[in-house]
Amino acid sequence: MDDRRKPKISAVAPVAAIPGGEFQIRGTQLTGGGRARVLMGDTPANVLVGSDDYIIARVPDSATLGEIIVEAESERSAPWRCEIGLQIADSLHPVTNPMVDFQGNVFTTFSGSRGKKTSVSVFKIDTNYQLKPFLSDLMNATALAIDREGLIYVSSRYDGVVYQVTPKGNMSVYCEGMGVATGLAFDKDENLYVGDRSGTIFKIARSRQIYVFCTLEPSIAAYHMTFGPDGHLYVTGPTTSSFDCVHRISPAGTPGVFYRGLGRPQGIAFDEHGNLYVAASIGGRRGIVRITPGGQARLFLSGPNVTGLAFAPSTRMYVTTTSALYRLDAGVQGMTMPNLQ
């Protein structure tokens, strides 16, 4: 065997993908002067671009094993390990992050069109990945959050109400009058912050007193929110621009910009090292973008229609699209929840 003719993979980016996402493969002798075949596990992938040193391959729907092999002229490369998300639920309609409780159960919404009632508002996926209805009779369930006691909070962009829900699914009104209520986030003192699609962010104290915390431009919907390790509130709201921002708001309520240059940024979450993960597009590629504390951004996961993400207590990541939920071992530990510090 002539190793000089054998395809060799030297790099694959990004490190993870879900079906429909794309891997960029770099190396040598990838086509052998002919046509390359890319396998993800035992499943052939669709090769979109192919040359001797560069291939773009799309992850097929049936791929489950994160191992890339390039075949060319009857020669095979050594396998390259990557992460491919496994679909664990479909027929959903999440518009923000999923949420993971302290036992590892995952919650996600079926939000529906505004003003349209759905039979199930929130689904629960247990640790055996069984999908079960959790809440009904809640119109346009939008964002999810959990407090120190394990109580779950759900916003409704239909009626401007934030509901409080017990682990058994008993629901009551927590606060109302929140406009078009969208994003939810707790700070370390367990004050709840609620985004309004008009750009207003409300602060609700544990006594349920309501304050206006910050007002962004009316064109910016405070749709997705999380607190960072610096105690600042990070906010995204997708617009029609391909150069959108991640906003950073100080504890005093002063708005600023953390990063500019994303297309339709949506769900956000931090890892333990202070890197921010954003469901967005960058450089025309959609998926999850990782932004370092110093503001360096690159695609971490490739995939279409990604709306949000959440870290489990382990290094597992859950990713939502406009209709499905995926899990993958991203090798990343999420940040400890601010309300548990």
Comma-separated ranges of CATH 2.60.40.10 domains in the chain: 3-84
Which residues in 93-252 belong to E strands, given as ranges?
A: 99-100, 106-109, 122-125, 131-135, 141-146, 152-156, 162-165, 171-175, 181-186, 192-196, 200-204, 210-215, 224-227, 233-236, 244-249
pLDDT at 214 over 80: yes
**88-340: what CATH class?**
mainly beta
- Quick one: which of 10, 4, 3 has its CA closest to 68? 10
Comma-separated ranges of CATH 2.130.10.10 domains in the chain: 88-340
**Buried b / exposed e along 319-331 (16+ C-beta atoms within 10 A):** bbbeebbbbbebe
Give ∠ CA 122-125-129 in degrees, rounded to 5.
160
pLDDT at residue number 2: 56
Higher pLDDT, 85 or 338: 85
**Percent over 70 (pLDDT), the chain:** 97
Architecture of the 3-84 domain: Sandwich (2.60)
Range 76-83 average pLDDT: 94
Q: What is the dihedral of CA 43, 108, 257, 189, to 10 degrees?
A: -130
* Res. 278 pLDDT band, cuts 50 70 90: very high
pLDDT at residue number 113: 77
